[in-house]
Amino acid sequence: MSLYFQKIYHIKESCIDYLQFLISECVNRLETSKPPKKLRKRYESFFAPFGRFLAKTGITPNMISIMSVSASILSCAAYASGPTIGSSLGLLIGTLLLGCSSLLDMLDGSLARAKGIAGHFGALLDRTLDRVSEFFFLLGILIGGYVYPEWVFFCFEGMILASYIRSTAEKRGGLSMDSTTGIFERKEKITVLSIGCLAEILIIENFIGIGEWWFFHFGILGLIVLIIGIMSNISAFQRLMYARKFYSSSENKNS
């Protein structure tokens, strides 16, 4: 039993180390106010060979995007079925499908670049389907009863607001705003949400009836959703300030 709890402890330590890395990255973004691209370049270079392979087939980026949304809908169904099939099983299947959806979302861009067909409509479709996927992830968690409804709505509001500010700034002000502008981008949100789901499984399976943590009744997944909501709203504010700085600079040049 002690060996078993040691394994759980190491898993928890690994999650904490990764969260500390994400926090340090967020602090760096907050201090520099520059859109970092190292992480983006890393996953783009990783998925480039897969994109080149798929480019030789008849698969299109839009097909991959639709598959990504389909996986998010299945994820929603898995999360929502938690009360029926078991909370842990629902979280596990839902999180696996969430990861699958996220991987497909990164793959469609690699395929578009490999085919040389990355265009405005593809980018618009990708952003639209990203919001749809996020809606289904959170809807499933809400229906499954894992998180308070108020926190889910707050989290989704932050996600939508950050995306809306970027789209509006690009449409009305001619500002080309990178998706990494802000303290928290989509890939990090999905990663942290996945970690929260896995941590919730550990709590459900191993700590109910064994011991009571200070955040037990608070819910670790609920805490993660709340943090994502806060970070998303901070990102929205940063994008607003980024746009303000750009507009002010442009107006000064024209005057």
Q: What is the CATH number of the domain that holds 170?
A: 1.20.120.1760
Question: What confidence score (pLDDT) does residue 39 get?
Answer: 60
What letters, b where the CB count within 10 A reaches 16 and e where it falls short, cover 35-74? Answer: beeeebeeeeeebeeebeebbeeebbbbebbebbbbbbbb
Rounded distance between C-alpha atoms, residue 170 and residue 177, angstroms = 7
Identify the DSSP state of 206: I
Rounded distance between C-alpha atoms, residue 150 and residue 152, angstroms = 6
Structural domain containing residue 82: 2-254
Looking at the 3D structure of the chain, how many domains does it have?
A: 1
Q: What is the pLDDT of residues 221-253, one digit of tens each?
A: 888 899 999 999 998 888 888 888 877 776 666
Q: What is the pLDDT of residues 142-171, one digit of tens each?
A: 999 888 899 999 999 998 998 888 878 777
Question: What confidence score (pLDDT) does residue 172 get?
Answer: 67
Four-point Cα dihedral 196, 201, 202, 208, nearest 10: 120
Q: What is the pLDDT of residues 168-209, one digit of tens each?
A: 877 766 666 555 566 777 778 888 898 888 888 877 666 544
The stretch 44-48 carries a mean pLDDT of: 76
